[in-house]
Amino acid sequence: MSAPFVFLPGWCVGRTPVAATVTALGGQIIDLPGYGSEPLIADFDAAVDAIAGRLQPGTALGGWSLGAQMALAVAARHPDKVGKLLLVAGTASFVQRDGWPHAMPPAMLAEFTAGIAADVEAMLPRFVGGFNRGDARAKTVTAELLELADPRPSGEVLASGLRWLRDVDLRADAVRVACPTLLIHGAADPLMPLGAAEALAALIPGAQLAAFAECAHAPFLSRADDFVTRARSFLHE
């Protein structure tokens, strides 16, 4: 892997849960807009362009969950910047749409968004515990994620990310991805069902899909060694 490897974290929990994995792969993290010292960019398309502007040509780009959606959009819209694409718990659409059943019902996301606005500290453990259901190490991974989670960003930042999850549909972008792509997905992921990963892999030309059995939404924690081995092999191919 001669090109740099850059990774985009997921919604709410920030960079620390993925930091050890990214370090093991010799990469660096770019925080999502509004996290850490990054300014909030409320518009998804503008945020994608801003991230692309920070990448060297040919970068190996990865992302987890919402970060995977952003990485997918960067690869499709700025093909010169992305030489390889690693999507972890990725999907083209977080909510169900016509022709895309492998997702959360919009009403469920609306209910969750209202709960976050009312009391984020009460909702976060339920959210993290929920997306680890079905994982062979669910309790351990949930505890680890909650312990590693960065300080919560502002309510405005959280709301912006939830609007993206509600509104963004990347099916048209997926078919435009021209670089080698690997999807790593938990076969038991209740938040981004395996069917979403299978459908996304079918849209991206030549994409590979590695599904980890008895693993939910955070395969880099629940199957850490297997994750690093598979990702490293792909990045160095």
Q: Would you name the residues annotated as active-site residues?
A: 65, 189, 217
Report the relative pairing of strands 208-212 and 82-88 from DSSP bridges. unpaired
CB neighbours of 231 closer than 8 A, spacing ≥ 6? 21, 25, 62, 86, 182, 184
Q: Which whole-number Å values give the CA distances from 76 to 15, 85, 175, 233, in the listed order? A: 24, 10, 8, 23
Q: What CA–CA distance (Å, rounded) separates 213 from 211?
A: 6
Longest dimension (CA), the chain: 47
Question: What is the amino acid identity at position 218?
Answer: A
Question: What is the amino acid identity at position 57?
Answer: P
CA dihedral for 67, 70, 75, 76, sign (positive or negative) = positive
Nearest to residue 220, comparing CAs of 10, 41, 43? 10
Q: What CA–CA distance (Å, rounded) separates 143 from 140?
A: 5
Nearest to residue 204, comparing CAs of 186, 179, 227, 187? 179
Is 208 in contact with 181 (CB distance < 8 Å)?
yes
